[in-house]
């Protein structure tokens, strides 16, 4: 599933192609997507991201809110199949989504604020920290994937950040020491920025340190990577570099 880096890359690409352009035509071959025809003639003012959502802000203050789902992505040449086409003065953007879990809806500014109000803090925003995770006793990887606690981080980058921070994914979040939380914060920021830097070819060029590498050697100590299931999702880790210790009780 696209996480913060992939959504950020997609939003930047959309902004480069569509920002400041006027919508000429909207095509929605998929009956799960409904956008009014009166969007034709609207100018695209800004394109931003919040968590895993792309926000296309129109000049009339309405927004097209996009969640990429499991397999969503935008391309700028007509693919064989697409769920949405946004044609503008100078080109078009096509929403590919083979599994059709992505969502596109038109909302007002007030509706957008309400829909996104419960998202957690942005990991790349100034002042981001993880002190609020002290309030949950869930495994740290499960807590990181909760969009109410941290916006945009999912299965892939939670595993990658925990490996970099030397923290076992099963550790209770409320048992992490302050220095561990600071180290984890830095690790999250590092892995997200590194992924964003890959750009539009991220799926082709990115290589993970632990994610989906079960049985392969750890890049630090050569111990085989292991996998466990937490909260219904896979967690990949190095049993040597990320030893399990419940840690000290919360103070």
CATH 1.10.8.50 range(s) for the chain read: 131-237
Q: Among residues 43, 90, 81, which one has the least CA distance to residue 64?
A: 43
- In CATH, what number does 131-237 get? 1.10.8.50
Please list the residues that pair with 25 across neighbouring strands. Answer: 87
Cite the active site residues: 2-3, 52, 233
Residue that the structure tokens 């939380």 belong to: 181
- According to the model, what pLDDT value does residue 247 have? 67
Q: Please state the φ and ψ torsions of residue 44, each to the nearest 5 degrees.
A: -85, 115
CATH 3.20.190.10 range(s) for the chain read: 4-116
Q: Which fold has domain 4-116?
A: N-terminal domain of MutM-like DNA repair proteins (3.20.190)
CB count within 10 Å of CB 13 equals: 18
For 207-224, letters b (16+ CB in 10 Å) and e give ebbbbebeeeebeeeeee
Please list the residues that pair with 50 across neighbouring strands. Answer: 53
pTM, rounded to two decimals: 0.95
Distance CA 65, CA 191 (A): 26
Signed CA dihedral, 196, 183, 139, 125: sign only: negative
Per-residue model confidence as pLDDT tens for the chain (251 residues): 799 999 999 999 999 999 999 999 999 999 999 999 899 999 999 999 999 999 999 999 999 999 999 999 999 999 999 999 999 999 999 999 999 999 999 999 999 999 999 999 999 999 999 999 999 999 999 999 999 999 999 999 999 999 999 999 999 999 999 999 999 999 999 999 999 999 999 999 999 999 999 999 999 999 999 999 999 999 999 999 999 987 665 54
């Amino acid at each position: 599933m696209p996480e913060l880096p992939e959504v950020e890359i997609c939003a930047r690409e959309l902004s480069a192609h569509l920002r400041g352009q006027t919508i000429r035509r909207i095509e929605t071959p998929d009956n799960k997507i409904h956008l009014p025809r009166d969007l034709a003639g609207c100018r695209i003012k800004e394109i931003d991201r919040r968590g895993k959502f792309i926000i296309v802000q129109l000049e009339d203050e309405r927004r097209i809110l996009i969640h990429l789902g499991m397999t969503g992505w935008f391309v700028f040449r007509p693919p064989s199949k697409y769920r949405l086409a946004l044609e503008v003065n100078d080109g078009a953007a096509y929403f590919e989504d083979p599994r059709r879990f992505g969502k596109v809806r038109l909302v007002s500014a007030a509706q957008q604020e309400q829909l996104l109000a419960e998202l957690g803090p942005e990991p790349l925003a100034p002042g981001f920290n993880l002190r609020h995770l002290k309030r949950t006793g869930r495994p740290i990887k499960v807590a990181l994937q909760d969009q109410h606690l941290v916006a945009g981080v999912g299965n892939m980058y939670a595993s990658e950040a925990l490996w970099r921070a030397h923290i076992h994914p099963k550790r209770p979040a409320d048992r992490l020491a302050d220095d561990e939380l600071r180290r984890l914060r830095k690790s999250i920021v590092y892995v997200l920025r590194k992924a964003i830097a890959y750009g539009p070819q991220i799926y082709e060029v990115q290589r993970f340190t632990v994610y989906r590498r079960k049985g392969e050697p750890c890049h630090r100590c050569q111990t085989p990577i292991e996998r466990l299931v937490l909260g219904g999702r896979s967690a990949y880790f190095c049993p040597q570099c990320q030893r399990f210790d419940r840690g000290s009780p919360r103070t």
